[in-house]
């Protein structure tokens, strides 16, 4: 892996090429840099390379990074996206601090996020995570329960239901990679046909983003392709204090 700046450019080029191949505009796809377990210095380098949206999976690690980032560079504007599984008893900091929540999988979590979102902040943008692979180990709502959940979440105050997210089972075959993404796109289209104003398909990661873009992804989540291979456990709060000189 090269520098983070070079990695970012390589990922942006992959997205642009995939979009053009699918007859789409490259700027129709947003890159979310998944910074979980990486130090603040890595986020700083990505920011200098033009990246403004970062994804985190672990609440305590994310809060520490957010605090350290704001303390070091209060003038910098970034978007923080929560993309990991979330227990209903840990919703408050996500509701209070994040701009996006990609992994809503139950009405209980959605209601708590709505109740705990501060009135002075813009509505929390949310995606519903769909278990498109039907894996017992994966979070997300089942496909046959999605429509009811979407209609309920769309009515909640201080939330803005934006679309759907998925994390399919890993697959090395590019043709087969497209299947779950096509299914998620179909689910989004069905919800839109039912009257919901949705615009986001959060799907595709470092190893399968081309397949996701071909099937209509509007946001791809890339971690290792941007920051390199993860070689350590999730960060503890003090980890985020690694601020570059």
pLDDT in tens, 179-213: 999 999 999 999 999 999 999 999 999 999 999 99
In this predicted structure, the answer to whether residue 162 has a pLDDT above a threshold of 60 is yes
Q: How many CB atoms lie within 10 A of CB 1?
A: 12
CATH of residue 148: 3.20.20.10
Cβ neighbours, 10 Å, residue 192? 13
pLDDT, tens digit, for every residue of 28-68?
Answer: 999 999 999 999 999 999 999 999 999 999 999 999 999 99
171 within domain boundaries: yes
Task: Assign 3-state DSSP to the chain and report helix, strand, coil percentages, each to 5.
Answer: 45, 15, 40
Banded model confidence at residue 18, pLDDT cuts 50, 70, 90: very high
Question: Is residue 235 situated within a structural domain?
Answer: no
Produce one character per residue of 94-113: b if its CB has 16 or more CB atoms within 10 Å, e if not.
Answer: bbebbebbbbbbbeebbbbb
- Structure confidence at residue 159 (pLDDT): 98
The Cα–Cα gap between 42 and 227 comes to 7
In the chain, the N- to C-terminal Cα span, in Å, equals 23
Find the mean pLDDT for residues 170-175. Answer: 89
Give a yes or no: residue 244 inside a domain.
no
Classify residue 218: in a domain, yes or no.
Answer: yes
Counting the structural domains of the chain, the total is 1
Answer whether residue 169 is part of any domain: yes
E strands, 35-193, are 53-56, 79-82, 100-104, 124-129, 159-165
In a domain, 236, yes or no: no
Residue 216's pLDDT is what? 98
213 falls within a domain:
yes
In a domain, 242, yes or no: no
CA atoms within 13 A on the CB side of 16: 7
Q: What is the pLDDT of residues 213-223, one digit of tens each?
A: 999 999 999 99
pLDDT over 90 (residue 161): yes
Distances (CA, A) of 25 to 18, 185, 216: 10, 17, 11
* Main-chain dihedrals φ then ψ at residue 104, nearest 5 degrees: -75, 125
Which range of residues forms the domain containing residue 213? 4-227
């Amino acid at each position: 892996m090269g520098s983070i700046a070079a990695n970012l450019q390589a990922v942006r080029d992959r997205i642009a090429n995939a979009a053009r191949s699918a007859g789409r505009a490259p700027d129709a796809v947003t890159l979310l840099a998944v910074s979980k377990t990486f130090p603040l210095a890595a986020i700083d380098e990505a920011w200098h390379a033009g990246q403004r949206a970062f994804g985190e999976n672990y609440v305590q690690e994310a809060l520490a990074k957010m605090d350290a980032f704001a303390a070091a560079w209060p003038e910098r504007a970034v978007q923080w996206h929560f993309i990991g599984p979330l227990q209903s008893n840990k919703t408050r900091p996500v509701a209070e601090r994040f701009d996006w929540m990609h992994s809503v999988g139950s009405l209980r979590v959605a209601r708590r996020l709505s109740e705990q979102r501060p009135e002075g902040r813009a509505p929390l943008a949310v995606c519903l995570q769909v278990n498109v692979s039907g894996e017992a180990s994966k979070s997300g709502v089942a496909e046959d329960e999605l429509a009811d959940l979407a209609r309920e979440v769309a009515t909640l105050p201080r939330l803005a239901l934006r679309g759907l997210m998925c994390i399919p089972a890993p697959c090395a075959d590019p043709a087969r990679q497209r299947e779950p993404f096509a299914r998620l796109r179909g689910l989004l289209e069905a919800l839109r046909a039912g009257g919901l104003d949705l615009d986001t398909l959060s799907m595709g990661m470092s190893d399968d983003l081309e397949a996701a873009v071909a099937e209509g992804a509007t946001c791809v989540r890339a971690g290792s392709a941007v920051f390199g291979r993860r070689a350590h456990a999730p960060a503890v709060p003090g980890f985020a204090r690694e601020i570059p000189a």
